[in-house]
Amino acid sequence: MFVGIGVNKAFNAEAGPLIAVCMGVITGVGGGIIRDVLAREIPMILRTEIYATACIIGGIVHATAYYTFSVPLETASMMGMVVTLLIRLAVIR
């Protein structure tokens, strides 16, 4: 979810796709760390290395769908979130 918010904000600020993906990853990782700290857990980024990779792939899907294929921003956001979620769920199992 945090990745999608970061990518959306970057595109709303008229940033390019590379900047949007970077902002999404920073927001995704940072948001996850804040969530884990508030829940008094060890941040997931420190426990598994796939966390940032899932954020990068989800951000790329989101940015590519919106920037290259002109998919509406909300739909592209959902696509990126689903891909990120599926990667994280696949790693958990």
pLDDT digits (tens, 9 = 90+) for 40-90: 999 888 887 788 999 999 999 999 999 999 999 999 999 999 999 999 899
- 26 lies in which domain range? 2-92
CA quadruple 31, 37, 39, 45: dihedral sign: positive
48: alpha, beta or left, given left = phi > 0 and alpha = psi -120 to 50?
beta
Q: Give the model's confidence band at 25: pLDDT under 50 very low, under 70 low, under 90 confident, else very high.
A: very high
pLDDT value at position 26? 96
Residue labelled with tokens 């899907």: 61
- Given this model, what pLDDT does residue 28 score? 92
- Domain count of the chain? 1
